[in-house]
Amino acid sequence: MRPPTTVDQVTLTWIGHATFLINIGGKNVLTDPVWSERASPVSFAGPRRWAPPGLPLESLPPIDLVLVSHNHYDHLDDSTVRRLAAGHPGAHWIAPLGVAPFLVQRGARNVLELDWWEETRLGPLAIGCTPAQHFSARGFRDRDRTLWCGWSLAAPARQVFFAGDSGYHPEFAAIGDRFGPFHAALLPIGAYEPRWFMRPVHMNPEEAVQAFQDLQRSRPPIPGRPAVMVGMHWGTFKLTDEPMGEPPLRARRAWQAAGLDLAHLWLPAHGASRVL
C-alpha cells in the first residue's frame, strides 16, 4: 500500500542513516537503501546497527525510483540492492557516474548515471544530480574511481533536497538557486568527529544548519510552505567518535542559535513519517 498522500504533498519516512522512503508526485522513492545488519563488506565484522530499519524491506510499497549518492558501504549495500532488484523489478535506479555497473551486476534494471548538475525526468518528477564534497571507495584500490553526489527531487508542488554524504562546501547556495526552492532538505548531521579528520567529508550539526540556510539564500520557500530541515546520517551506525545521541542535541542548539523556528526542524525517530 502506498503512503497516504496527495500529489501536492510529500511524505518522508526515515528508515535509518541515509535511507528514506519518500512519496512525492505520486511516486515512491528510496534514497541510499541499506537494510543489512552491518555497513560492511562482510557479515561478521564492521559497523553494526544500533537500531533496526524503521520499516521492513518486505513492507515497502511498490518502488518507482531508487537514488544512490555514492558507493560507500553505509550508503550502497550489496544484499539490499539484490533484494530490491528482485522484489521491485520495475524500479528505476539513478546513480552518479561509475556506479551503474555495480547495480546492473546485482539485478537492477532501468539504471541511469548522471554527472553533477545533470537532470532527468520520471513522469512528473524532475531529478537533479547535485555536487557534494566527499569521496568514494569500496576497497583499497578504487578510491575516487566513481562519483558522489546529492539529489534534488521536484514535483509540480513540492521539492526535496537529499544531500547524500558531504562535508560543508560552497555550492549549497548554487544548488538552491538551480533546483530550489526546497520544501525539505535532508542533511547529514552525524559522523563528524574527530574534526581534523572528518571535516572535509562529513558536516557537523552546525555546518548542516548553515548548509540549510545557504540552500534558501537566493530562493526562499514560497509563503505558506516553510522549508523543513531533516537530520539524517546519525543514530544508526557507529562510524566515528562522537556519542551516538549527540548529533540531534547539537543540531537543535545550532538551529535555535540561528534564530530558526523549531517547528521546521525534524530529527526523526527510526520509522517516523512526516507529511509536508
As a dihedral over the C-alpha atoms of residue 156, residue 158, residue 164, residue 167, rounded to 10 degrees, the angle is: 120
Q: Distance of CA 37 to CAs 25, 52, 96, 187, 203, Å?
A: 31, 8, 25, 23, 25
Nine-digit cell string for 129: 544530480
Per-residue pLDDT of the chain (276 residues; tens, 9 = 90+): 444 456 678 999 999 999 999 999 999 999 999 999 999 888 788 899 999 999 999 999 999 999 999 999 999 999 999 999 999 999 999 999 999 999 999 999 999 999 999 999 999 999 999 999 999 999 888 899 999 999 999 999 899 999 999 999 999 999 999 999 999 999 999 999 999 999 999 999 999 999 999 999 988 777 777 899 999 999 999 999 999 999 999 999 999 999 999 999 999 999 999 999
CB neighbours of residue 181 within 10 Å: 17
Nine-digit cell string for 36: 543489512
| pLDDT at residue 239 in the model | 95
| pLDDT at residue 6 in the model | 66
CB neighbours of residue 98 within 10 Å: 17
Contact call for residues 118 and 129 (beta carbons, < 8 A)? yes
3-state secondary structure of 90: coil
Contact call for residues 236 and 272 (beta carbons, < 8 A)? no
Query: What pTM was estimated for this model as a whole?
Result: 0.95
Q: How far apart are CA 89 and CA 63, in angstroms?
A: 9
Q: How far apart are CA 143 and CA 194, in angstroms?
A: 21
Q: Distance of CA 189 to CAs 87, 216, 230, 245, 272, Å?
A: 31, 18, 9, 11, 17
